């Protein structure tokens, strides 16, 4: 335990030092914080923000109206033929703004180019071959059919599987025709959309020009607002700060040193005559209250005596009630002793002595010392204000020159753009109105040809499927034969127009692919596009920037150029504009107008030198605020009779209720009682009314003036007490406090005043400089990040892409896609149509296997020997044929082929009634054996119908 105590002994001895350190550290911390706080509360300039509402007209909205999938497909098809890098290296070089052939061209090395575009060349070669051979194929088909081949002349009845062939070919034609509907609709719709896009391209361009001009004008207004209006706001605040500098310095010095108490004491001494007047007024009011109270007491005693006598004689309940309710026996001045109010004569005399003494002049000397100090500081500041303002004005003029230069250039570009663009757009409108209609009609003609072919195919299918067979006996207009003719007509139109339409489609494909890849894709992805790179090399913005940079260096503008030139490229400009960067960053204007050099303006135009001169010129000298005479006079003021003034003697002894009851109220009650007294007591009645009149007179002439005097006396005493004590317990304490603080203020000014004033001046100069640099930082930040945000220009750029690519190029590519789709479907449609038309021309159904095998002659050819049909090759085949033909099919055959579709029993002879030029048919007699067992007779000569001989 002893060891523990011994070990803790030194620790305990260190405890007081540790505690003291812990107590000192917080106070030291607060001192540091207090010193770190600014002495002056310099108001930061609040710059008005540029907020101009602008409505742009350009729009990127687009509605493909159902064609978006087609446009996507055509774009994918073009991507299959065109590479992302459309021109291989070595074929084009751009030097000094001119396009030259590359080394591959001079070396006649076309391998890489052919390798890249072999697919397009193959398609072009196939199309050219098709363009050449399609008319030849059509001519061959026409000649073949004219000589009876290729379905031009065939058997009049169906073969065994023709019904199946007819159904299959009809189904295939239906499929191809249905697919053709899509191509025809696409051709018509895209041709109309394309014409609409062409007609409205100049409207979009006008909107783009309008928005560009509006953007430039808004940017110019923003620059003017920032460099002119905001600087004027700063300059006005700086001038106000300089004008108030001396007042701020003196005010803060007085507040810090508490020298303002001298001013308060000087004001109090200056009010001593007023205090004397108030005291004399209070003395007068006190004397008047005493006299009036004595008069009121005498009068109330007489009234009380008369009322008690009359009321007792009256004896009625009303009289007794009045006497009890208003305590007539105690009617007096409510027990107030006005003689106890203090006499103010000695205090008034003391104030008079202070007023006549040198107290006022002694304190005024100290006040004059402070005024002289303030005047010296004011004079120093005033002498340096013009220098600072002159430097500030020079800086403002330089900034205004920069603003005028930039705004004039932007306005010039906007005016030039408007003056030149609208004229060319009007010319474009004239050309579009004059010539675009021909392209529209050409597309409409191609679409109409496709529609005509589709209509022929559709009518051919409708007649072929729904119509009857052609039999020559009053044929319907829409029988199968008419369907076959429609199909042949469609095939003929295809052969006649195929080459022309294919040539147009090939040219459209090449032009559309070129426009889409060279223009649309490049505009949509300009960052790493080869075409944009070639365009960038051709225009060479860096050469233009080098010229502008040289002009800026030679012109010695207010803003200098950057240390090194940063290259600019078109793709980077478009991407930066898409990210809504400012025009300063987008165009890299720092290459010839470096806004960061504005940071040198305060030093360049002497603001910092003027502020440093102001800071060095402000000094403070020793002052003597209170002389010994002034101190003695203040101590005499402390010991004066003013210290004996006690406001409680007035507030405690005075009251607003001079009498216990209002005398007018008692008088009114007495009159009421007198009116109800019996007539035989007329003397009492008169006496009561007389006393009521006395009470009313006392209330008006004595009580009311006493109340007013009491009110004024209490107010004067309370005000005087507040003026004398200054928030202290007594007047003496207040004077001691004033004297102490004024002495401390004098010591502070003479000891620390110089350092304090220098600190204030340094803070003032620093605040002034910070305001200037805050504005400069605002200019740099706004220029780099806020002025001329390029989002609206990218919207204009996108609207141009939409107007040209989405509304013209995409429908153009959709048009040739629809036409090519139709041409591809025409190839199988030709085959299906020719074959189906042959089947539709047959007038008779399938007659059976024996008739088919034995029908080896032609009724219109001159043959002498036609072999008879041979029987079945074997017995098994014969038995199967007999079972299959157990029912006589010739009845169905003849009934279907006849005009009436019924057999008249009167005409069951071997010859028909009217042949109409057709060969005779074999009739089945009524008693003839079944058709399966019928043996055809040998051929005979039929001379023809009688009408033919006539």
Q: Strand 98-101 and strand 92-95: pairing?
A: antiparallel
Strand segments, DSSP code E, in 23-119 are 92-95, 98-101
Select the more confidently predicted residue: 850 or 65. 65
Q: How far is CA 597 from the centre of its chain?
A: 33
Q: How far is CA 811 from the centre of its chain?
A: 32
Instruction: Report pLDDT for 443.
Output: 94
CA distance 945 to 948: 6
Strand segments, DSSP code E, in 229-367 are none
For 161-196, what is each residue's pLDDT tens digit?
777 888 898 899 999 999 999 999 999 999 999 999
Q: DSSP of 219-242, one letter per residue?
A: HHHHHHIIIIIHHHHHHHHHHHHH
CA distance 705 to 815: 111
Instruction: Report pLDDT for 261.
Output: 66
Q: How confident is the model at residue 251 (pLDDT cuts 50, 70, 90)?
A: confident
pLDDT-wise least confident of 88-92, 428-432, 476-480, 623-627: 623-627
- Contact present, 64 and 71 (Cβ < 8 Å): yes
Counting Cα atoms < 13 Å in the Cβ hemisphere of 318 gives 13
Q: Residue for token digits 């009149």?
A: 693
For 266-300, what is each residue's pLDDT tens digit?
666 767 777 778 778 888 888 887 788 788 787 87
Instruction: Report pLDDT for 4.
Output: 38
For 114-149, what is each residue's pLDDT tens digit?
888 899 999 999 999 999 999 999 999 888 888 877
Q: How confident is the model at residue 360 (pLDDT cuts 50, 70, 90)?
A: low
Q: What is the mean pLDDT of residues 101-108?
A: 84
CA distance 594 to 413: 20
Asked whether the predicted pLDDT for residue 801 surpasses 90, the reply is yes
**Nearest 5°: phi and psi at 612?**
-65, -40
For the chain, domain boundaries: 67-217+417-525+800-838, 260-365+625-744
Asked whether the predicted pLDDT for residue 861 surpasses 60, the reply is no
Q: What is the mean pLDDT of residues 638-663?
A: 71
Q: What is the mean pLDDT of residues 219-229?
A: 87
Instruction: Report pLDDT for 725.
Output: 63
Q: Residue for token digits 């570009």?
A: 413
The packing angle between helices 245-257 and 359-466, to 10°, is 120
Q: Give, in order, the Cα–Cα distances in Å from 535 to each of 530, 531, 567, 568.
A: 9, 6, 15, 13
Return the H-helix or E-strand segment holding 100. strand 98-101
**Nearest 5°: phi and psi at 152?**
-70, -35
Burial readout 10-41 (b: 16 or more C-beta within 10 A, e: otherwise):
eeeeeeeeeeeeeeeeeeeeeeeeeeeeebbe
Tokens of 758: 């220098």
Q: How confident is the model at residue 885 (pLDDT cuts 50, 70, 90)?
A: very low
Instruction: Report pLDDT for 892.
Output: 43
Tokens of 524: 């949509």
Percent of the chain beyond pLDDT 90? 17
Asked whether the predicted pLDDT for residue 815 surpasses 60, the reply is yes
Q: Residue for token digits 């009322």?
A: 307
Coil, helix or strand at residue 501: helix
The packing angle between helices 570-578 and 791-801, to 10°, is 110
pLDDT-wise least confident of 61-70, 455-464, 553-562, 578-587: 553-562
Q: Any idea what DSSP says for residue 662? A: -
Least Cα distance to 129 among 450, 498, 512 occurs for: 498
Q: What is the mean pLDDT of residues 529-533?
A: 85
Q: How confident is the model at residue 887 (pLDDT cuts 50, 70, 90)?
A: very low
Instruction: Report pLDDT for 305.
Output: 82
For 916-934, what is each residue's pLDDT tens digit?
444 554 455 544 444 444 4
Q: What is the mean pLDDT of residues 658-679?
A: 79
Q: What is the mean pLDDT of residues 737-747?
A: 73
Least Cα distance to 156 among 704, 866, 838 occurs for: 838
Q: What angle do CA 713, 717, 723 make, to 5 degrees?
A: 145
**Nearest 5°: phi and psi at 93?**
-130, 145
Instruction: Report pLDDT for 495.
Output: 93
For 418-445, what is each residue's pLDDT tens digit?
777 888 888 999 999 999 999 999 999 9
Instruction: Report pLDDT for 181.
Output: 95
Asked whether the predicted pLDDT for residue 382 surpasses 80, the reply is no
Coil, helix or strand at residue 396: helix
Least Cα distance to 457 among 828, 778, 715, 98 occurs for: 828
For 443-499, what is each residue's pLDDT tens digit?
999 999 999 999 999 998 888 888 777 765 555 677 787 888 899 899 999 999 999
Instruction: Report pLDDT for 534.
Output: 85
CA distance 269 to 264: 9
The mean of the pLDDT values for the chain is 76
Instruction: Report pLDDT for 37.
Output: 52
pLDDT-wise least confident of 81-85, 565-569, 917-921: 917-921
Coil, helix or strand at residue 128: helix
- Contact present, 647 and 721 (Cβ < 8 Å): yes
Instruction: Report pLDDT for 916.
Output: 45
Instruction: Report pLDDT for 498.
Output: 94
CA distance 933 to 950: 39
Instruction: Report pLDDT for 188.
Output: 95
């Amino acid at each position: 335990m002893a060891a523990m105590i011994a070990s803790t002994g030194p620790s305990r001895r260190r405890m007081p030092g540790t505690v003291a350190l812990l107590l000192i550290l917080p106070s030291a911390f607060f001192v540091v914080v207090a010193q770190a706080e600014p002495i002056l509360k310099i108001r930061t300039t609040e710059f008005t923000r540029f907020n101009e509402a602008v409505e742009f007209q350009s729009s990127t909205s687009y509605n493909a109206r159902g064609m978006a999938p087609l446009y996507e497909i055509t774009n994918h098809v073009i991507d299959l033929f065109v590479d992302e890098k459309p021109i291989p290296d070595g074929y084009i070089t751009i030097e000094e703004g001119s396009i030259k052939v590359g080394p591959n061209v001079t070396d006649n090395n076309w391998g890489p180019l052919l390798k890249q575009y072999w697919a397009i060349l193959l398609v072009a070669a196939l199309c050219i071959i098709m363009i050449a051979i399609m008319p030849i194929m059509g001519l061959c088909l026409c000649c073949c059919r004219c000589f009876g081949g290729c379905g031009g002349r065939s058997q009049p009845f169906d073969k065994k599987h023709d019904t199946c062939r007819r159904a299959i070919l009809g189904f295939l034609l239906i499929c191809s025709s249905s697919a053709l509907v899509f191509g025809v609709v696409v051709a018509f719709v895209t041709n109309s959309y394309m014409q609409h896009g062409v007609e409205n391209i100049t409207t979009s361009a006008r909107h783009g020009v309008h928005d560009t001009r509006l953007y430039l004008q808004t940017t110019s207004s923003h620059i003017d607002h920032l460099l002119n209006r905001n600087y004027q706001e700063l300059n006005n605040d700086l001038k106000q700060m300089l004008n108030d500098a001396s007042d701020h310095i003196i005010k803060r010095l007085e507040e810090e040193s508490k020298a303002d108490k001298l001013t308060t004491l000087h004001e109090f001494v200056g009010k001593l005559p007023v205090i004397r007047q108030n005291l004399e007024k209070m003395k007068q009011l006190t004397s008047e209250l005493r006299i009036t109270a004595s008069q009121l007491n005498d009068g109330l005693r007489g009234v009380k005596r008369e009322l008690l006598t009359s009321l007792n004689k009256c004896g009625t309940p009303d009289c007794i009630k009045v006497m009890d309710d208003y305590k007539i026996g105690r009617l007096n001045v409510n027990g107030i002793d006005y003689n106890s109010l203090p006499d103010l004569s000695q205090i008034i005399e003391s104030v008079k002595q202070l007023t006549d003494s040198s107290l006022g002049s002694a304190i005024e000397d100290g006040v004059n010392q402070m005024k002289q100090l303030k005047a010296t500081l004011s004079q120093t500041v005033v002498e340096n204000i013009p220098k600072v303002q002159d430097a500030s004005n020079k800086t403002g003029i330089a900034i205004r020159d920069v603003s005028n230069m930039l705004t004039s250039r932007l306005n010039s570009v906007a005016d030039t753009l408007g003056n030149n663009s609208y004229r060319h757009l009007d010319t474009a409108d004239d050309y579009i109105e004059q010539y675009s209609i021909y392209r529209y009609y050409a597309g409409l003609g191609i679409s109409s040809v496709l529609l005509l072919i589709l209509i022929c195919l559709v009518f051919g299918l409708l007649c072929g499927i729904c119509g009857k067979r052609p039999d020559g006996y009053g044929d319907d207009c829409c029988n199968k034969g008419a369907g076959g003719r429609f199909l042949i007509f469609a095939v003929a139109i295809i052969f006649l127009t195929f080459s022309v339409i294919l040539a147009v489609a090939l040219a459209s494909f090449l032009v559309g692919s070129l426009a889409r890849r060279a223009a649309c894709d490049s505009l949509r992805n300009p960052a790493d596009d080869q075409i944009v790179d070639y365009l960038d090399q051709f225009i060479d913005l860096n050469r233009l920037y080098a010229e502008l940079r040289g002009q800026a260096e030679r012109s010695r503008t207010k803003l200098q150029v950057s240390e090194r030139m940063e290259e600019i490229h078109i793709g980077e400009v478009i991407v930066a504009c898409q990210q809504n960067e400012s025009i300063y960053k987008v165009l890299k204007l720092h290459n010839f107008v470096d806004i960061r050099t504005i940071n040198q303006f305060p030093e360049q135009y002497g603001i910092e030198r003027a502020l440093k001169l102001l800071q060095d010129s402000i000094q403070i000298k020793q002052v003597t605020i209170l002389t010994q005479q002034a101190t003695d006079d203040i101590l005499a003021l402390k010991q004066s009779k003013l210290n004996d003034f006690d406001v409680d003697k007035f507030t405690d002894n005075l009251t607003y209720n001079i009498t216990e009851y209002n005398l007018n109220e008692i008088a009114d009650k007495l009159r009421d009682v007198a009116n109800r007294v019996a007539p035989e007591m007329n003397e009492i009645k008169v006496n009561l009314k007389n006393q009521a009149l006395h009470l009313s007179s006392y209330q008006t002439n004595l009580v009311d003036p006493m109340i007013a005097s009491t009110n004024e006396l209490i107010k004067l005493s309370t005000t005087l007490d507040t003026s004398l004590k200054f928030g202290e317990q007594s007047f003496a304490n207040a004077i001691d406090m004033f004297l102490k603080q004024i002495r401390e203020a004098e010591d502070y000014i003479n000891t620390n005043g110089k350092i304090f004033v220098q600190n204030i001046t340094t803070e003032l100069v620093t605040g002034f400089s910070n305001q200037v640099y805050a504005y400069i930082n605002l200019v740099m930040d706004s220029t780099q990040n806020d002025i001329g945000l390029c989002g609206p220009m990218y919207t204009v750029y996108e609207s141009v892409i939409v107007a040209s690519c989405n509304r013209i190029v995409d429908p153009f590519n959709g048009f040739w896609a629809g036409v090519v789709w139709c041409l591809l479907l025409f190839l199988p449609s030709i085959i299906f149509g020719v074959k189906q038309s042959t089947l539709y021309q047959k007038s008779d159904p399938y007659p059976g296997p024996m008739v088919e095998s034995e029908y080896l002659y032609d009724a219109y050819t001159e043959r002498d020997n036609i072999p008879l049909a041979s029987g079945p090759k074997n017995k098994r085949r014969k038995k199967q044929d007999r079972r299959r033909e157990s029912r006589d099919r010739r009845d169905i055959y003849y009934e279907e082929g006849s005009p009436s579709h019924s057999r008249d029993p009167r005409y069951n002879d071997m010859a028909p009634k009217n042949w109409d030029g057709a060969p005779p048919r074999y009739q089945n007699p009524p008693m003839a054996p079944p058709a399966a067992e019928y043996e055809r007779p040998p051929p005979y000569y039929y001379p023809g119908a009688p009408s033919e001989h006539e």
